[in-house]
Amino acid sequence: MSTTPEIGAILENSKELDRLRKDQEDILSEINKLHKKLQATPEVVEKPGDTSLSRLKMLYTQAKDLSDNEANISNKLISQLDALHPPGAQGQQRRRLEGSEQKRKRVKADSDITRLNPSMRNQLEACASLKGEQVAARVTPRNADKDEWFVVKVIHFDKESKEFEVLDEEPGDDEESSGQRQYKLPMANIIPFPKSNDPSSAPDFLPGKHVLAVYPGTTALYKATVVHCPRRRKTDDYVLEFDDDEEDGSLPQRTVPFHKVVPLPEGHRQ
């Protein structure tokens, strides 16, 4: 029996596999763009008529369908190649099939990470890109009974352990040593600041919104309440009232640069 029709079918399935992968890359690109938009302006989802979340759901659904189709075509190709492969010794055949099964499992695992969960992949890449940047970090200093938030510099991000290595360049006077200190922190303990050279990356918090901000003249972050919004220009400072900052029976209004203010984490206690 001629193998030409079988080879033709293999080539057709290979072309279809290439097409599916290209479509997946296009969908992933659209998801990435939408992620960046939502990260830069999360308040957009609260506007009447905004369809960002429904579009994101649709893109994820399309990504899953394309991945399922890719798996089906891959299985067909494996079956076609198995049919053309010359039979060997039973032991060799068994090892070959076991190897193929392991390979398929690895391919599926890779697919789960890079295609069906683009958000996590993007998050890891974003964390790695923070090397050398200053970020807000939640740390429990020595001899402290509660967490504190302060400005640190990212030294390294380990994608395997999902941990940051950070440097506290200006430890407080109450630290045992006056030298700089390093910490290893999980992703949940880190919040990137808006880019100082990209004012559009800073959200416009509504008046009364609680935020976490660097207290003027320090490297520590504290809970504060937004007083004025919207800012007239993206480069304007925020006007805030910090908790426990009472003077003469009232809270003074303090200005803080837009790139030193971040959303208040859920469950924040300080």
Domain CATH number, residue 154 = 2.30.30
pLDDT, tens only, 191-223:
999 988 887 778 878 889 999 999 999 999 999
261/228 Cα distance (integer angstroms)? 14
pLDDT band at 147 (very low <50, low <70, confident <90, very high): confident
Q: Are residues 21 and 63 in the same domain?
A: yes
| Per-residue pLDDT at 189 exceeds 90 | yes
> Bigger pLDDT: 127 or 107?
127
| Per-residue pLDDT at 17 exceeds 90 | no
* Residue at which a domain ends, from 108, 125, 142: 125
Q: Are residues 224 and 143 in the same domain?
A: no
58/91 Cα distance (integer angstroms)? 47
| Lowest mean per-residue pLDDT among 105-114, 125-134, 220-229 | 105-114
Residue 268 lies in a domain: no
pLDDT band at 133 (very low <50, low <70, confident <90, very high): very high
pTM for this one?
Answer: 0.54
Please state the rounded mean pLDDT for residues 3-31. 80
* Residue at which a domain ends, from 192, 217, 233: 192
CA atoms within 13 A on the CB side of 168: 25
Residue 169 lies in a domain: yes
Cα-based torsion angle of the residue sequence 247, 248, 253, 255 in order, rounded to the nearest 10 degrees: -40
Q: Are residues 44 and 67 in the same domain?
A: yes
96/90 Cα distance (integer angstroms)? 10
Please state the rounded mean pLDDT for residues 224-229. 85
What confidence score (pLDDT) does residue 241 get?
Answer: 94
Amino acid at the residue 237? D
230/238 Cα distance (integer angstroms)? 9
What confidence score (pLDDT) does residue 190 get?
Answer: 94
Instruction: Name the one residue in this structure whose structure tokens are 């380990």.
Output: 158
Q: Using DSSP, state whether 118 is helix, strand or coil.
A: helix
Q: Are residues 171 and 80 in the same domain?
A: no
